[in-house]
Amino acid sequence: MKNYRVFDHTADLGIEVSGQTPEALFDHAALALFDLMVDAAGIPSTQCRNLVIEGSDRADLFVNFLREILYLFNGDGCVLTACRVSSIDEGHLTAEIRCGRYDARKHRVKKEIKAVTYHQAAVRKTAQGWQGRVIFDV
């Protein structure tokens, strides 16, 4: 089941993500980012990393987390294969991620995402759980 939906934004790309808990919301957002960027089918998990992210509030934390996840691809050539946020509060997040190596000869980039923006970034509790919204610069 897809835990996000894409919406158009002038010259950019936005997503709304849902999760039953804040941890699930952030997990789903990280996986959605990679689902939009690269076809990760068949990429084996070869690395495990621990992340500690800080932010001034949940929306700032959401953007900072996704920026770090995006850097894994753009800076390190890693493709996220799994994400598990283990703790989260208003200003801190810890997560364990698994990733594999991107190989341009084997893996197809679906959409180039240049940056995660603060424009309309939001995280809120809903009657169904949690919802996040973010816009990517493409």
Asked whether residue 106 carries a pLDDT value surpassing 90, the answer given is: no
| Mean residue pLDDT across the chain | 93
| Contact by Cβ (8 Å): 134, 66 | yes
Give backbone dihedrals phi and psi of 59, rounded to 5 degrees, phi first. -65, -45
Going from the N-terminus, what domains does the chain have, and what CATH number goes with each?
4-137 (3.55.10.10)
Asked whether residue 11 carries a pLDDT value surpassing 80, the answer given is: no
**Continuous segment of H or E residues that includes residue 12:** strand 12-19
Q: What is the share, in percent, of the chain residues with pLDDT greater than 90?
A: 83
The pTM score is 0.92
- What CA–CA distance (Å, rounded) separates 130 from 137? 24
Model pLDDT, residue 41? 78
132 alpha-carbon distance from chain centroid? 11
How do residues 47-65 score in pLDDT, each as one tens digit?
999 999 999 999 999 999 9
129: region left, alpha or beta (phi > 0 left; psi from -120 to 50 alpha): left
